Amino acid sequence: MTWNNKNNDPEELGENPKSDWEAQFENIWRSINKKPQNFLSRHYKPIFAYSSAAFLIAWVGSGVYIVDQGNRGVETRFGAYQATTMPGPHWHLPFPIEDVSIVNVEQQRFIEIGYQTGGRQLGSGSDLPESLMLTKDENIISVRLAIQYQIKDARDYLFNVKNAEATLKQVTESIERGVIGKNNMDFILTEGRSQIATAIKDQVQDAMDQYQTGLRIASVNLQDAQPPEEVQNAFEDAIRAREDKQRLINEAEAYANEVIPKARGAAARLIQEAEAYEAQVVARATGETQRFDQLLVEYEKAPKITRKRLYLEAKEKLYSNTNKVIVAVENGNNMFYMPIDSMQKNGDQKAGGPNLSSIAQIEKAAQTDTRKPIHASTIRSSRSRL
């Protein structure tokens, strides 16, 4: 190789010469690269101005936001609270000066204590160790609790506590254990569920307000309360025995409510009958006494007549209940059979009173047979009876 080649000839330098198409490609590439450089060098200021204006417009426009219905916007400036916006379009200073957080204040949120369903649906799930609690009578019970809550203050929800849901769960579990520990097992499992749920709700809401978490407790549902599985069968037997006892008590009370009024009514009826009988006897005795006093006055005036009158009235009363008719015939031993009953019925049905023709027939038959007159007293007694 020759080192004093002044013309840099490729052949003299020992290099292969380039072809024509390679040389043309290099020239075209150099021209293409020079065009943007020449364009930027000539229009640098207008391009920079337009780019800056577009970036500024986009940056300012990034501060526009819309709050949907049921949500609240919380604006912060360098991380500090600035304002709470209502639903509608709003604007804030763009990032990084100000920022906005959208909070849904109408969404119903749930937490589960003592069990886990694996979703938002409330229902049966696997028990957790936190469900076991101690009652006042030193029994262990498994309690499942579901809490439904909403966000009532977006500012307090975002700034006053780090994790409002975790705080709510821990506070609820602590309050639940306190309420369960103040009541007996039977009360919790039977009629005390609603009272326990209400007490837990009130105490949890007071604690959330005290911590200023911005949460509102909508409802507290005691999903289930049962003894542990190890003693579940024995406890079910005790429940059935308690139910049988209550059923028998109810049946006894129903029977007592049925029998006692009847007995009271019968006793009242007997008392009224006794009182009525007493009044009747007293009235009869009073009437007899007054009648005797009147007869005594008449007897003192005419003793014989009064004595005879009393005698006849006694005989009339004695013979009024018999169907026999005695016909007294002097010096006669004959006995007469006459159908007095049939004559009485026929006479009563036809005339509605005593049959006088039958009496006449009796007198005629007696006279025809005995040929002797019948005493008038016998006829009078027969007429009075008929």
- Is the separation of the CB atoms in 100 and 81 below 8 Å? no
- What is the rounded average pLDDT for all residues in the chain? 77
Number of domains the chain contains:
5
- pLDDT at position 334: 59
89 and 150 co-located in one domain? no
Phi, psi (degrees; rounded to nearest 5) at 228: -60, 160
Kindly state whether residues 51 and 148 are assigned to the same domain.
Answer: no
For residue 7, is it within any domain? no
Residue 5's pLDDT band, with cuts at 50, 70 and 90, is very low
The CA distance from 181 to 137, in Å, is: 8
Average pLDDT of span 273-281: 92
Q: Is 138 helix (H, G, I), strand (E, B) or coil?
A: coil
Please check whether residue 189 is in contact with residue 135, taking contact to mean a CB–CB distance below 8 angstroms: no
Same domain, yes or no, for 71 and 155? no
| Span 94-99, average pLDDT | 85
pLDDT tens track for 28-48: 776 666 666 666 666 666 766
Q: Which pLDDT score is estimated for 203? A: 94
Local confidence band at 52 (pLDDT 50, 70, 90 cut-offs) = confident
Name the residue with higher pLDDT: 27 or 126.
27
Most confident by average pLDDT, 152-156, 227-231, 362-366: 152-156
211 shares a domain with 131: yes
The percentage of residues in the chain with a pLDDT greater than 90, rounded to a whole number, is 21
Higher-pLDDT residue of 354 and 68 is 68
With respect to residue 5, please indicate whether it lies within any of the assigned structural domains. no
* Residue 217 forms part of a structural domain: yes
Q: Which of 238, 233, 246, 148 is nearest to 186 (CA)?
A: 238
Interacting residues of 172 by C-beta distance below 8 A, sequence separation 6+: 111, 113, 145, 147, 200, 204
Per-position DSSP letters for 281-329, written without gaps between them: HHHHHHHHHHHHHHHHHHHHH-HHHHHHHHHHHHHHHHHTT-------B
Q: From CA 248, how far away is CA 252, in angstroms rounded? A: 6
The verdict on 113 and 216 lying in the same domain is yes
* pLDDT of amino acid 170: 92
Q: What is the pLDDT of residue 36?
A: 64
Neighbouring residues of 89: CB distance < 8 A, sequence distance ≥ 6: 64, 65, 66, 67
Residues 295, 246, single domain; the answer is yes
Range of lowest pLDDT (44-53, 70-79, 86-95, 332-341): 332-341
One domain for residues 23 and 79: no
Segment 157-190, tens digit of pLDDT: 999 888 889 999 999 999 999 999 999 888 888 8
Write the DSSP string, 327-371. Answer: --BTT--------HHHHHHHHHHHHSS--HHHHHHHHHHHHHHH-
Domain holding 87, by residue range, is 65-104
**pLDDT reported for residue 274:** 93
299-335 pLDDT tens trace: 888 888 888 888 888 888 777 776 666 565 566 565 5
In a domain, 306, yes or no: no
